[in-house]
A and B are shown apart, each in its own frame.
Chain A
Amino acid sequence: MTAAPKLDQTADGAISVIKRGLRTTPELVEGLVITVLLGLAVAVGQVTIPIVIQRAIDTGGLTTGNVDIGAVVRLVGVGLVIVLFTALMGFLAKRRLVSRAEASLASLRNQAFNHVHKLSLADHNESQTGVLISRVTSDVDSLGRFMDWGMYSWIVQPIVLLGVFVAMAFYSIPLALIAIATFIPVIPVLVWIQRRMVRAHDRRRTAIGGVLGSFGEAISGAEVVRAYGAEDRTSDRLEEASEERYRAGLQANVYMSGVYVVGDILGSIMLALVLIVGVSQREALDLTVGSLTALVFLTVLSLSPVSELGETLNEAQQAVAGWRKVLNLLDTPIEKLDPEAGSTLPVGPVEVEARNVAFSYRGSDERVLSDVSVTIPSGTRVAIVGETGSGKSTFARLLCRLADPVGGELLLNGVPLQSLSAESRKAVVRLVPQDGFLFNATIGENIAFGREGTTAADIDRALDVLNLADWVDSLPSGLNTEVGDRGSFLSVGERQLVSFARATVANPGLLILDEATSSVDPQTDQALTRALDRLAEGRTLISIAHRLSTAEAADLVLVFDRGRLAEQGSHDELVAAGGIYAGLFEAWTVNN
């Protein structure tokens, strides 16, 4: 594989990720004010209990032995109403959050998916498929997991904490200040732990990558492992990777265990301070038994928001990491932009011209193609020959504008490829890839995908042109035969035939064919050759040739070597010239 471009370059901080994330899916914070107001109601509910207790002590006469039951009943009644009301508000707040969160998750997922299909093929080769899938699945899911439980806490609990402090200040401003002051040292400690945790999680993620890598090798290399008796060696490697994953997990665990403790111990100190100051300065602070009790109770209550935030810190961490990855994907630039109102080309064979075309993958200096110049007259049959890695496939991909050249220009009928409208380009240029990839649908549907608005008559005509009607009729359900996942119910050759039919309904002026390398049986091979001959009629055909007979039958042969167009000419001219092609041909004839 050519050096794969990295999709994940930035590792910016959590705040910047959240900012970028909110820009991407503003749904998340739509009507946040209302959610915050509902959160305030929840905070009121939380401080109700200490106030009820304070009132019961001070006005219900609990300490005097002269209990006023009527007053207590009234207090409890009011408390009951508030508790039920705030529970309802809490439910509404969470429901709002759920619907906002799901809207933004769905939007983020769709945006990421659509972006993948807009990426230049330079950022999207086979080795990246797995990574891209995890962007729209597990990475978005990790954000979703946080939104399930954590996000509610992160929005509501700070408000609750604020509410608790406000209630404390209501009873005694100095004691509230003492409580807040005790909280301040928690912040740098938590920041320190959080940094360590990020590093520990990084190590853990890398270790997971190691586990997946070594298991992947053991699975795809299973034949070699067994044929060479490499079981013990492979088992050691797997064991090592699992062990590292275990150690990394334990390390992350240390910080996870520490997070809660900080809040709890400082909370206890806070409580002790409130108690000492409250009792010794009760006259100066104008406290009653009830109000100091309420203050003590409020201090205890202030702990639970902190511990809830600590509980969800891990999820928050992973959510930010997943979010960052998805956002970085969305930030991967789409190099090629289709012109708003592009030029169009008429139906019919196309002349192709390459002027000093050069190409390299993003982030790599290595030229995959350099200085390729050639003119292909319309209606010509061209074969491109060259070793793997010679640049022949890349050249073909550039012609379909799956990526743009980094230098030079490609012209179709004299019109720069980049100025063609997307519609016209799709109508004029058609690539038939090697594997004959089919969608999980019927044969008829797969053919109809060739062009929008394909009718049944178009399909029949295409099958007639390619002489495939008999083959289709021989299938159990004819055109309605299901092809299975990626066309797996059909043989390689049959898949190729369907993709030929698909190309025929599109009626392109320039057909680019990546010849199959996998061998098919002679009968299918014959059928393919005949079908291709008919398909190529009246079009410019460029074949990425894997066999010399294709080159021999072509009007023009382009020989690629290490990213350069080394030779061009007809078969006979090239054989006479005695270059690379002549060498290949000689080796072939010797064997015949």
Chain B
Amino acid sequence: MVDDEGVGIDAQKPTVGVGLRLVRQLVRPYPLPFAISVFGAALFAAGTVVSAAVLGWVVDEVIVVNFESDASTSTTTNVAAGAAAVVAIGVLRSVGVVLRRYFAGMTAELVEKRTRTGLATQYLKQPLSWLRSVPPGRLMAHVDSDAHVLIHALHPLPFSIGVIFLALFTGISLYLIDPWIVLVAFVLFPVMMVVNSIYSRVVQKPLASVQKGVADIAGVAHESFEGALIVKTLGRQDAEAARFDHATQRLRSSRISVGIIGAVLNAVLRALPQLGVLSVVLLGAYRVRAGAMTPGDIVEVSALFSALVVPLHVFGFLLESLIPTVVAWNRLRPVIEETLPVAPGTAGLAADGPVSVEVRGLRFAYPDAPEDLVLKNLDLSIAPGELVAVVGPTGSGKSTLCAALAGVLDQAEGEILIGGLPIGSLSPTERLAAVTLVFQEPFLFAETIRSNIDLDGKLSDEAVVQAAKVAAIDEWIMSQPDKYATLLGERGVTVSGGQRQRIALARALARNVGLVILDDATSAIDTIIEQQILGHLRSSTDATMLVVANRLSTIDLADRIIYVRDGTVVASGTHDELLKRDDYHDLVMAYAEAEAA
């Protein structure tokens, strides 16, 4: 929203030509609904032209004939026929409108759905580094406004194609009436096209500044509301109001520019057909005198021109909405067309049970700061069944190491062997069966407790309950109204930080894997309960465990400590051995400080 750099290298200039090519590409997968809607538009165009012809016929054959002669049975038949024809054509036009609208809407909805499906695939299948390189607000904007704005031009599209039919049918109809009258159309139609295209060109710049203005307003509101607490405590409401007003007034003035240009278009597009009718009346008078036209013909042509007002507006609307459509596509395209990663490995581990871990020369830097290495040639090795505590100051790379070991961190250089096999060579199912990671920030889905522990519904009830018991959360779950079926999140119960962590722990423990990684996953849990959980954990599984620890009590449980600083292992050994180092001593004592609630 705030940043608008979505226009990548191959971004296209938002012009009408590009827009038309884009909408063709968008509707191509849905030829049938789109064709039906265009057919509907053509039916409407035909109906419009025929109904004008019927009007002309009615004037000549019903009104004039009846008014000039005395009423007879034959003319009464004409009245009934005229009335029936008028209604029949009304129905025909309506059918056209229904087909056009319903199927144009369906095409647009299908394109929108397809866009979301494309985004979903990318969001789920792309590596984490890719996903995290894009601000979450932006990922959401793709799903929300971009996917929606993309289809803006699809609604008026079939009607606008119908305008071409309308012009064609009108031309034929005029030619049949009188070739001279075609001259009026020859002037009128091109003028209307020129007006529309001038409009779409003139409006482009103010329209772009409207879009920028909208983004600016969202940016100011975002910053200001996020910092509402500080705005209040500093009493800066007035300054914030002034800042927002500045953005509002800028948007207002660019919207006024667009509006005034639109007002000119509106006036011209309404006046042009009327001027056309006046020309027809004038020209028609000469032609009637020459005996080449009837009064009914004049009425028919006039009715035709009057019927052009709305379609021409829609045409202008299409030209206008092509611009935001192209802009939205420029934002979406780099995401949707990003190539998906190659198929993962297929290797499998020889047996279940605890696995060894071997890390050699692990290097990693976040893509936005490639020279700033988070992990610098990190080496470590852990024997099967060992409980290792990773200790180190904030920012030393502990969490990054955990993510790398769980295979979540792509783009890390170096070797990670799990049970002797490179982690990248394991098939996804094997990797999941071998390693599990519990994050410091537990993430729970807005679903039931059971499905939060189970995720894909493959675990037995016993396994779920057993895991919840080890994580010391079973008792709390059983005290909830719906027990394991209790809903979490917005529409469900609220959960404290410690409970969240315990549910996330249960999720990991239910999987019975060879390597359990706890990335400070018990930080919000009471020290006493934490001890209890770790005790249970130790006795219930023989899995290899790697625990990022901030508490002395946790450190005490470990067989061995790996001391990490600045992205590399600086020492490894028992707690007592490491205490001889001053920096380690200061660090763990500082941690001890942090154990208050």
Contacts and interface: CB of A to CB of B under 8 A. Distances in A.
Given A69-B289, A152-B266, A221-B445, A591 B553 contact: yes
A547 B285 contact: no
A121 B406 contact: no
Interface in B188-224: 214, 217-218, 221-224
A385 B439 CA distance: 26
B252 interface: yes
A49 B552 CA distance: 92
B7 interface: no
Contact of B140 (A79, A118, A219): A219
B18 interface: no
Contacts of A220: 136, 443
Interface stretch (A228-236, A339-347, A408-416, A532-540): A228-236
B102 interface: yes
A202 interface: no
B274 A48 contact: yes
Interface string B55-74: 10011001110111001000
B281 A223 contact: no
30 contacts: A49-B274, A53-B298, A79-B281, A84-B271, A98-B256, A136-B221, A138-B145, A208-B144, A212-B144, A219-B136, A231-B125, A238-B124, A246-B109, A253-B101, A253-B102, A275-B58, A276-B79, A296-B55, A300-B306, A304-B310, A385-B597, A426-B233, A437-B229, A486-B226, A547-B594, A547-B595, A548-B593, A584-B596, A584-B597, A587-B595
Nearest to A95: B263
B158 to A, nearest CB: 12
Given A3-B494, A268-B86, A437-B227, A522 B281 contact: no
Contacts of B214: 137, 141
Majority SS at the chain A contact face: helix
Nearest to B257: A98
B98 A102 contact: no
A40 interface: no
A116 interface: yes
B309 A304 contact: yes
Contacts, number: 443
A133 B105 contact: no
Given A242-B120, A264-B90, A282 B64 contact: no
Contacts of B41: none
Given A94-B263, A110-B248, A213 B446 contact: yes
A226 B101 CA distance: 42
Interface in B68-98: 68, 71, 75-76, 79-80, 82-84, 86-87, 89-91, 93-94, 97-98
A520 B394 contact: yes
Given A261-B94, A264-B93, 10 more contacts: A65-B289, A124-B225, A242-B117, A249-B109, A254-B102, A293-B63, A386-B597, A387-B496, A437-B226, A437-B227
Interface in A81-113: 83-84, 86-88, 90-91, 94-95, 98-99, 101-103, 105-106, 109-110, 113
A154 interface: no
A361 interface: no
A559 to B, nearest CB: 9
Given A49-B306, A486-B223, A521-B394, A118 B228 contact: no
Interface in A367-400: 385-389, 400
Contact of A52 (B55, B143, B278, B552): B278
A223 B408 contact: yes
A546 B593 CA distance: 10
B581 interface: no
A74 B248 CA distance: 51
Given A49-B306, A53-B281, A103 B267 contact: no
